[in-house]
Amino acid sequence: PRLKPRSFYDLVVEVAIVRPGPIQGDMVHPYLRRRNGEEHVEYPKEELREVLWKTYGVPLFQEQAMRIAIVAAGFTPGESDQLRRAMATFRKSGTIGVYREKFISGMVENGYEADFAARCFKQIEGFADYGFPESHAAAFALLAYVSAWLKCHYPDVFCAAILNSQPMGFYAPAQLVRDAREHGVEVRPVDVNHSDWDCTLEKTETGACAVRLGMRQVKGVQAETARIVEGARRDGFDSVRHFWLRTGLYPRIIERLADADAFRSIGFDRREALWAVRGLGGYAGGQKGRAPAALPLFAAIGEEGLQQEEEVSLPAMPPGEHVVFDYATLRLSLKAHPVSFLRNRFAANGVVPNAQLKEVEAGKRVALAGLVLVRQRPGTASGVIFATLEDETGIANVIIWPKLYEKRRRIVLTSRLLFVRGRVQKEGIVIHVVADDLEDWTSELGLLSSEDISETVGTYAKDMKHAGRDTTHNQEEQRRLRAARFVPRSRDFH
């Protein structure tokens, strides 16, 4: 946002500049100031202008460092290549320092100030921490441009494709779907009558395409299961029993689809579908067999004559529990965001929605809370942690200084729902909240459901099994453990 790219080469620079090398070499801020016209660009000699004019006098690429060594410090091409190799292996062998004296003395002999030569070498040393070749950055920039073009002009295609490419990248499927919907894309739920294994596109009445979530989103369902469903679907399923007899799937697998609320098109919500699954033959007594083989007596009966499930009046599942089960089985929900059900409780504690941060003046103290999506602790940030929180209105970026991290280490590392007090920091359209206090509010999510979902979310239950033995079984702790079972873990980068 600070660079505001206007050309393809700006993307090449973006890829290369936000790296440990350029950051440690103090290249980022001078480049931005010079490009924005806030700082005059001076070249001590014309030979340097020819090397650095495209990057406003700041060496951002390995090729530029090698050219500076040749034209300004008197290196031969062979010595310049050795310098490149030293930059690439600095962390392992630390050999780049060998070239320091030769580089600086060579520039001084060619009429450059010693301080300027030392600054040049310091910037080159920064390349040892993952500096980019220009060609490498250009290849990445092309991918960035194509992806951005697709996302801008065909957000439905982009959403389906990136969901089908998971697991990957910075954001989980829940955030990718939320972003797509915010950009006008209709996203439709997993459904046995409409979903394939992959996410697909469906024409809408307006002529646009909606994204139909694929069965790949359902936890515990394999690609082979989806292929069986696709092959047996033909003109559609009209009941859970019909689905069972036609696909021959184990009732246990059908239960996973019912848990994911995938039978809506036949008129059953999650609870009704689960009830129907429990009524399938072979389920009683823990037997979870396949559909029975066709017997002669029933072979002549058409599918229209299949026995329908007994109609039972079941109490409606509360919306909050639907969302809990959505996250437990799909890791996302199209019905609502978990935090939306807690908004009144949040408001009572002065918590503002993330979307309102743009209206808060810089320097003001604010309270917010949200699901922890990402935790980052870059090696170049001197122990600072960057956390990304999400509520029903959007995301917020939080800065956690090392002193606060040491004080609240467990909260920072384990909270699924984090409460933050801090000050708003703004630079252009970039907004951060610098935290001065943190609390773990994960237990609040436990209020969304009173049901034990540990069987549905077995892996989360296993994650928490040991923790459950070591904690007191008070009500708040039980809510926290229950919430931790269904809320996906953050994606952490260190």
Q: Do 91 and 159 share a domain, yes or no?
A: no
Name residue 419's beta-bridge partners.
Answer: 369, 439
pTM of the prediction?
0.80
pLDDT of residue 389: 96
Write the CB contacts of 184 (distance below 8 Å, at least 6 apart in sequence): 155
DSSP per-residue string spanning 229-286: HHHHHTT---SHHHHHHHH---HHHHHHHHHTTTTGGGT--HHHHHHHHHTSTT-GGG
pLDDT of residue 211: 98
**Distance, CA of 12 to CA of 18 (rounded, Å):** 11
Closest CA to 435 of 422, 448, 444, 449: 422
Peptide bond connecting 5 to the previous residue in cis, omega within 30 degrees of 0: no
Write the CB contacts of 74 (distance below 8 Å, at least 6 apart in sequence): 106, 109, 110
Whether the CB-CB separation of 257 and 218 falls below 8 Å is answered with yes
- Residue 140 CB burial class (10 angstroms; 0-12, 13-18, ≥19): middle
> Is residue 315 one of the residues assigned to a domain?
no
Q: Do 115 and 181 share a domain, yes or no?
A: no
Q: Do 57 and 175 share a domain, yes or no?
A: no
Write the CB contacts of 233 (distance below 8 Å, at least 6 apart in sequence): 192, 193
pLDDT of residue 184: 94
Q: Do 126 and 175 share a domain, yes or no?
A: no
pLDDT of residue 131: 65
Q: Do 284 and 355 share a domain, yes or no?
A: no
Closest CA to 27 of 130, 124, 144: 124
Q: Do 101 and 237 share a domain, yes or no?
A: no
> Is residue 389 one of the residues assigned to a domain?
yes
pLDDT of residue 297: 44
> Is residue 324 one of the residues assigned to a domain?
no
pLDDT of residue 24: 61
Q: Which ranges of 372-471 does DSSP label H, i.e. alpha helix?
A: 402-407, 409-414, 442-445, 458-469
**Distance, CA of 84 to CA of 51 (rounded, Å):** 16
> Is residue 144 one of the residues assigned to a domain?
no
Q: Is 168 helix (H, G, I), strand (E, B) or coil?
A: coil
Whether the CB-CB separation of 35 and 21 falls below 8 Å is answered with no
pLDDT of residue 461: 36
Closest CA to 245 of 281, 275, 215: 281
Helix axes 270-278, 251-259, angle to 10 degrees: 170
Phi, psi of 398, rounded to the nearest 5 degrees: -120, 135
Give the distance, in angstroms, between the CA of residue 315 and the centroid of all CA atoms in the same chain: 36
Q: Which residue has the tokens 């009144």?
A: 344
**Distance, CA of 307 to CA of 281 (rounded, Å):** 12
**Distance, CA of 391 to CA of 424 (rounded, Å):** 17
Q: Do 47 and 111 share a domain, yes or no?
A: yes
> Is residue 143 one of the residues assigned to a domain?
no
**Distance, CA of 417 to CA of 414 (rounded, Å):** 9
> Is residue 351 one of the residues assigned to a domain?
yes
Q: Going residue by residue through the chain (494 aa), what tens digit of pLDDT does each one get?
A: 888 899 999 999 998 887 765 666 677 888 899 998 899 998 888 888 999 899 998 888 888 888 888 988 888 988 888 887 777 665 555 566 778 888 899 999 989 888 888 888 877 776 655 667 889 999 999 999 999 999 999 999 999 999 999 988 788 999 999 999 999 999 999 999 999 999 999 999 888 899 999 999 999 999 999 999 999 999 999 999 999 999 999 999 999 999 999 999 999 999 999 999 998 865 543 444 555 544 444 444 444 544 554 566 778 888 988 999 999 999 999 999 999 999 999 999 999 999 999 999 999 999 999 999 999 887 666 789 999 999 999 999 999 999 999 999 999 998 999 999 999 999 878 899 999 999 999 988 888 876 544 444 433 334 434 444 444 446 667 777 767 677 778 888 76
Q: Do 193 and 82 share a domain, yes or no?
A: no
> Is residue 308 one of the residues assigned to a domain?
no
Provide the number of structural domains found in the chain: 3
> Is residue 365 one of the residues assigned to a domain?
yes
Q: Do 169 and 270 share a domain, yes or no?
A: yes
* Domain final residue, candidates 235, 265, 294: 294
Whether the CB-CB separation of 21 and 131 falls below 8 Å is answered with yes
Closest CA to 399 of 389, 380, 386: 386
* Domain final residue, candidates 101, 136, 171: 136
Pairing status of strand 394-400 against strand 430-440: parallel
Closest CA to 353 of 363, 343, 341: 343
Whether the CB-CB separation of 345 and 382 falls below 8 Å is answered with no
Question: What CATH number does residue 402 fall under?
Answer: 2.40.50.140
Question: What CATH number does residue 271 fall under?
Answer: 1.10.150
Name residue 427's beta-bridge partners.
Answer: 430
Whether the CB-CB separation of 211 and 176 falls below 8 Å is answered with no
pLDDT of residue 3: 86
**Distance, CA of 117 to CA of 99 (rounded, Å):** 12
Closest CA to 377 of 407, 422, 409: 409
Q: Which residue has the tokens 């969304």?
A: 448
Domain span at 27:
8-136
pLDDT of residue 122: 78
Whether the CB-CB separation of 223 and 197 falls below 8 Å is answered with yes
Percentage helix, strand, coil, to 5, in the chain? 50, 15, 35
**Distance, CA of 274 to CA of 256 (rounded, Å):** 9
Q: Do 165 and 132 share a domain, yes or no?
A: no
**Tally of CA atoms within 13 A in the half-sphere of 267 that contains its CB:** 6
Phi, psi of 372, rounded to the nearest 5 degrees: -85, 115
Q: Do 369 and 494 share a domain, yes or no?
A: yes
* Domain final residue, candidates 246, 264, 294: 294
Q: Do 123 and 168 share a domain, yes or no?
A: no
